[in-house]
Amino acid sequence: INPDVIIGYNIFMFDFKYIDTRLRRKLINLPSSSRVQGIGIERIDINWSSSAYGFNDYVVIDLPGGTVIVVYQYVTKEYKLQSYSLSSVSEKFKGNKNEFNEEWLSYVEEIYDATNYIRHTL
């Protein structure tokens, strides 16, 4: 598997950690290939803390030639919510209906346009 674009809600704090943990449990190394010939995929640990944000422990899987879009960072920057959990954010954008509201649809269009722009400029 060698994706061009990975889009997720909280990739650095959850998804990449989960993938890395599963690979380690199965004693499997990260794939060595990337979109850039001769440059491999790399696991990077980032640990930092501050009085405002507390302790933060990230796992970043560097995918040369690939694009990672983290929805969590966008939502925390653009919206003032009581909670940024996936379920809370989903409820805000989806509401009580089975259809997504206009705000969510415009956000999805914005991400899609940005992804197309990135893809066409590389």
Q: Write down the pLDDT at residue 98.
A: 43
As for how many domains the chain has, the answer is 1
Range of the domain at 102: 5-121
For residue 101, give the CATH number of its domain.
3.30.420.10
- Pairing status of strand 54-62 against strand 67-70: unpaired
User: Where is 17: in which H helix or E strand?
Assistant: helix 16-25
User: Where is 91: in which H helix or E strand?
Assistant: helix 86-94
Q: Write down the pLDDT at residue 64.
A: 83
Rounded CA-CA distance 102/90 in Å is 13
**Span 21-61, pLDDT tens digits:** 888 888 777 776 677 777 878 888 888 888 877 888 888 88
Calculate mean pLDDT across residues 5-30: 82
Q: Is the whole model's pTM more than 0.75, yes or no?
A: no
Per-residue confidence band for 122, with pLDDT thresholds at 50, 70 and 90: very low
Rounded CA-CA distance 1/97 in Å is 35
